[in-house]
Chains A and B, each alone.
Chain A
Amino acid sequence: MKQIIIFLILVLSLIHIVNGQITVNMDTNKLVNYSANNYTFASIDGDITETGKIIKYYDGHYVTNVKGQVIIENNGEYDLYSVNIPLKRNNNLYLIETTNTGYLYNTSIHVPILQAHESVTIGYQYIGLTLTKPHDEEGNILHTAIKKDDVRMYSDIQMNLKKGPLENQSGDWRRLVTVNIRNPSNFLIQAINIQLIKTEPGNMDLNNHSRIWKFKDTLLLPRTMMVGDILDYTDQYSEIYWISADTSVASYNLTPTNNINYYTEDDISNQDEQEIVDEIISQQSPQLEMPFDEQILVKKFLSETQIKYNETITVKNLIYNFDDTTIKTVVLKDIIPENFELIEVLTDEDRSPLEVNDKNLSWTNIAINPNSARIFTYTMKLVNPNATGVQYIDGSKVEFYGGSIKSANIPVILQFIPQKKLFLQKKVSIINDEEFLIEIEIKNLGGTPVENLVLKETVDEEKLFSEITKPFMKRGVWEIMKINSEDSWIVSFTTNDPEIVQSIPLVFGLPQDSIYTTLTVDNQIKTEVVNKIQTSEKIGISILLITIILYIVIFRRKK
């Protein structure tokens, strides 16, 4: 039965095996889903494990800080070469290798050799801020990023090309060109794209070919040879033929495992300490945990939750005593987190002595009056220029009558800078009640020139479209040949179309996530300083002068 199925498949595929060779009919070959029980693809197996945090901010921004590990195993009996797993790139998500294999790149995992029964382990970290969730429903970022159709693994294949002599068949000149591709391994090889290219004599530029034949998705059985014959009708003696084959030993099975925690911005407390105190006093604070039988509360506050290199932030630790008696000998312990440096302690030390030991801060003998709070403040600075992504600032710890409680950790975003490429600004100035001056500026803030862009602005056919400063292809469509790095391209025009005020023009020619657009309405702020002599002073001085004159007149008369 098995042989019959294989036979039928082979017949259907128009391949026949002759003395260990597979001969393919090059005009009709198409073998995509070929499977034969006796033959298997080479395969890599492995796991992708991810742990970390994703915080959803402001209805649609995902702050990601995920660490992962991918293990790629070759469980077969044969060596694999150039195992290439291409990855979709997200401009706002940075992929960093945390091990030293050198196999992880921004857009791929590339293992040059994976010998039989060997495996490689690659550690990585994803950090950044994205507008969409960085993974699919399987919940694994790297697994989501894999371009599944483009995974390639290579093994040895042997290719050769035979160019037959010119022959005349009933007055037509032709030549037989034979392509041999041999699979010396004991597993299936998928020849994804085989190209036979012909160039004119003396022309070594393959892009400038005179003819090309393409054969896609052909299977090469183990230890067999694919033979393809092509009759090329030509009378040129010295034409050159080239062959290229994109093959793969295909099949991979990487299993995703996830342990990612999800948060929202609500988990990052942004209440100030006075609000917390007010809530406590009004006893309307169900969301606050009340440990220690509701005797004491500790909460940590940061002045900023997005922090740049060299920026100093203020840290406040609030301790609130719910009890009706004063509590004494409370100890507050806090740690300056990794990447930060203590700048200044602002709390009055006389009341509660402070000990600073390396990065550990410890306030002792704290006494807190009934139903009141003490706040301990210090400043710290981000000193590591390479620290990026999300970092959790550990909560502070309060020791009290032999027990201890800890405030919640606070996630912060370090130095997030969106990647810049093409910025488009549309400025609308209102000329009068009917007309608008529109200025569109496209600025290339990427590191390389951008070319062949098309800018499209929708301008109603019935409306005014005049005083256009750049020639256009058609109404509202401009072709931009090149914008160098840091250069701008500007066009302006006048219209009476009110719809234009709120539309954002489209730019084609770059991935849309590389383009940042903006709409501004002539941002003007008028600052007026009125500096006048007051009328009361003017009248006052006039009356004063008249009064003085009257005094003089009267006194003179008296004399």
Chain B
Amino acid sequence: MRSKTISLILVLILSMIVLTNFVTATNIIAISSYENYIKLENNKLIFEKHISLKNTGKNTIIPGELHFKLYEISDKDVKTIPKISNLASTDKYDNDLSARIVTRTDDAEVIISAWQPIMPQFEYSIILKYEMEFKPRGILFHNIDFPDEETTIPIQSSFTSIEIPKKYSVSYAPNATVTKEDNYKKVEWKNINEKTIEYTLIPFPNTKVHGATLFWVSLIILLTIPLAGIIISELKSRK
């Protein structure tokens, strides 16, 4: 028992050392701005990411490779590997950056090579574009979550927007700004970690609870009240 306690303390101390060093190491670079523009279109999600890397340290650094691990979580929390196409990456000045896709067992990885040196306090901007095959799940209401992106580089400012075709109504989008444009509806989040959007073909208002919940509860109430009436009158007539 005593040896277990000592081991636990040692592991904790070691973890703290490792964590301290990890934090120190990651203090050399930050994503000063992470803008994620997503468009829903014909069973695919079109991503355009604008990323500004900032050298927050004291030495000139080179970002090297940036790894974007992409995967989809579907029903029963199963990870599926999305099909990625039309991959392209450029810097701010439209110079092509080397980009490739590596497909693994549980994710697809987009790797960008950026060998431009960044001087201390300077920034380097990258634009990454790709398309991801996407079949919305749901019966009448489709729900997509974009959880906070786990990253080894701290993100100082983030912005996400998703455009959905105008035939859909946005029925739930907490902490988001929803605007209507000519051909689409735009949902935007600024510095929000959990990004959820629910949309439907049914004309439905944007409410503070899931549209699916509201709709199905209302429908069931509407159907069960007459049914209950019938059952009650049936029981009374039997008596």
- Which residues from chain A sit less than 8 Å from chain B, CB to CB? 57-61, 129, 308, 310-311, 418, 420, 423, 425, 427-428, 430, 433-434, 441, 443, 445, 498-499, 501-502, 504, 516-534, 536-537, 539-541, 543-544, 547-548, 550-551, 554
Residues of A within 8 A of B231 (CB): 554
Q: Is B134 an interface residue (CB 8 A)?
A: yes
Cross-chain contact B139 with A537 (CB below 8 angstroms)? yes
Residue numbers in B under 8 Å from A423 (CB-CB)? 62, 115, 117
At the interface, yes or no: B178 with Cβ under 8 Å from chain A?
no
Chain A residues, Cβ within 8 Å of B144: 529-531
B182 partner residues in chain A, CB cutoff 8 A: none
A-B contacts, 11 of them at CB < 8 A, read A418-B60, A443-B115, A519-B28, A521-B152, A526-B151, A527-B69, A528-B145, A533-B75, A534-B212, A544-B216, A554-B234
On chain A, the residues within 8 Å of B234 by CB distance are 554
Residues of A within 8 A of B121 (CB): 57-59, 61
Decide if A531 touches B137 in the complex (CB within 8 Å).
yes
Q: Are B75 and A516 in contact (CB under 8 A)?
A: no
Q: Report how far A441 CA is from B70 CA in the complex, Å.
A: 26
Residue among B63, B64, B73, B132 with the highest chain A CB neighbour number at 10 A: B64
Q: A425 near B74 (CB under 8 angstroms)?
A: no
Chain B interfacial residues counted at CB < 8 A: 76
Who on chain B is nearest to A525 by CB?
B151
* Across-interface contacts of A517 in B (CB, < 8 A): 59-61
Asked if A529 meets B137 with Cβ closer than 8 Å, knowing A418-B119, A425-B64, A534-B212, the reply is no
Least Cβ–Cβ distance between B168 and chain A, in angstroms:
15
Q: A529-B45, A531-B73 are in contact. Are A518 and B21 (CB under 8 A)?
A: no
* B203 interfacial contact with A, CB 8 Å: no
* Bound form: Cα–Cα A525–B132 in Å: 16
Q: Is B202 an interface residue (CB 8 A)?
A: no
Least distance between A6 CB and chain B CB atoms (Å): 57
The docked-state distance in angstroms from the alpha carbon of A537 to that of B210 is 10
A366 to chain B, nearest CB (A): 32
B217 in contact with A540 (CB, 8 Å)? yes
B220 contacts A by Cβ under 8 Å: yes
Task: State whether A528 touches B146 (Cβ < 8 A).
Answer: yes
Which residues of A are found within 8 Å of B120, using beta-carbon distances?
58, 60-61
B159 located at the interface, meaning its Cβ lies under 8 Å from any Cβ of chain A in the complex: no
Supplied contacts A59-B121, A527-B68, A530-B73, 17 more A-B pairs, CB within 8 Å: A57-B121, A129-B119, A427-B64, A501-B22, A521-B22, A522-B67, A523-B151, A523-B152, A526-B71, A527-B47, A527-B71, A527-B149, A529-B82, A536-B212, A536-B213, A537-B138, A547-B220
| C-alpha gap A57/B121 in the complex (Å) | 9
Contact residues in B for A428 (Cβ distance below 8 Å): 25
In the A-B complex, the 4 residue pairs with the closest CB atoms = A540-B216, A530-B145, A518-B61, A58-B121
Q: Which residues of the other chain, B, contact A537 by a CB distance below 8 angstroms? A: 138-141, 212, 216
- Is B26 engaged at the interface, CB distance under 8 Å to the other chain? yes
Q: In the complex, A445→B116 CA distance in Å?
A: 10
Asked, given contacts A425-B62, A534-B138, A534-B212, whether A521 binds B73 with beta carbons under 8 Å apart, the answer is no
Secondary structure type dominating chain A contacts: mixed
- Minimum C-beta distance from B212 to chain A (A): 5
Residues of B within 8 A of A516 (CB): 60-62, 117
Q: Known A522-B67, A525-B153, A554-B231; judge A502-B25 contact (CB<8 A).
A: yes
Q: Are A525 and B139 within 8 A (Cβ)?
A: no
Q: Are A531 and B72 in contact (CB under 8 A)?
A: yes
B24 within 8 A of partner (CB)? yes
Decide: B93 and A310 in contact? CB cutoff 8 A: yes
- B interface list, Cβ under 8 A from A: 11, 14-15, 17-18, 21-22, 24-26, 28-29, 45, 47, 59-75, 82, 92-94, 107, 115, 117, 119-122, 132, 134-141, 143-147, 149-153, 198, 210, 212-213, 215-217, 219-220, 223-224, 227, 230-231, 234
Contact (Cβ within 8 A) B21 A524:
no
A428 to B63, CA, bound (A): 13
A522 touches B152 (CB 8 A): yes
Q: In the complex the two chains form, what is the Cα distance from A528 to B150 in whole Å?
A: 9
Chain A residues with CB below 8 A from B92, complex form: 308
Q: Which residues of B contact A499 (CB under 8 A)?
A: 21
List the B side residues contacting A532 at CB < 8 Å.
Answer: 73-75, 137, 143
Instruction: Known contacts A502-B25, A540-B219; decide if A529 and B212 are in contact (CB<8 Å).
Output: no
Chain A contacts for B75, CB-based, 8 A? 532-533
Shortest B27–chain A CB gap in Å is: 9
Q: Is the CB of B65 within 8 A of A523?
A: yes
Closest to B150 in A: A526
Q: Is B220 within 8 A of A520, CB to CB?
A: no
Contacts of B17 in A (CB 8 A): 498
The residue that A504 contacts in the complex, of B59, B146, B149, with Cβ under 8 A, is: B59
Q: Are A521 and B25 in contact (CB under 8 A)?
A: yes
Chain B, residue nearest A420 (CB): B117
Closest to B71 in A: A528
When distances are taken between beta carbons in the complex, the residues of chain B under 8 Å from A540 are 212, 215-217, 219-220
Docked CA distance A428–B146 (Å): 28
With contacts A418-B60, A498-B18, A501-B21 known, is A528 near B73, CB below 8 A? yes
Kindly list chain A residues whose C-beta atoms are within 8 Å of the C-beta of B60: 418, 516-518
| Least CB distance, B196 to chain A, in whole angstroms | 9
CB distance from B170 to the nearest CB of A (A): 15
Which residues from chain B contact A522 at a C-beta distance below 8 Å?
Answer: 67, 152
Say how far A273's CB is from chain B's closest CB, in angstroms.
Answer: 20
B104 to chain A minimum Cβ distance, whole angstroms, is 13
Q: Which of A311, A433, A527, A530 has the most CB of B within 10 A?
A: A527
Q: How far does the alpha carbon of A9 sit from the alpha carbon of B70 in the complex, in Å?
A: 84
* A529-B82, A531-B73, A531-B74 known; A524-B67 Cβ under 8 A: yes
**In the complex, which residue of chain A has the Cβ closest to the Cβ of B47?**
A527
How far is A544 from B224 in the complex, measured between Cα atoms in Å?
Answer: 9
Minimum CB–CB distance from A528 to chain B (whole Å) comes to 5
> Of residues B28, B147, B153, B216, which shows the largest number of chain A Cβ atoms within 10 Å of its Cβ?
B216
CA distance A487 to B113 in the complex (A): 15
Pick the contact of B69: A57, A498, A524, A541 (CB < 8 A).
Answer: A524
Q: Decide: A526 near B134, CB < 8 A? Known: A540-B219, A554-B230.
A: no
Chain A residue nearest to B72 (CB atoms) is: A529
* Cβ–Cβ < 8 Å partners of B29 in chain A: 520, 523
* In the complex with contacts A308-B93, A541-B139, A61-B119 CB distance below 8 A: yes
For the complex, give the distance between the alpha carbons of A295 and B11 in Å.
69
Q: How far apart are the CA atoms of A427 and B25 in the complex, in Å?
A: 10
Whole-angstrom distance between the alpha carbons of A212 and B122 in the complex?
Answer: 53
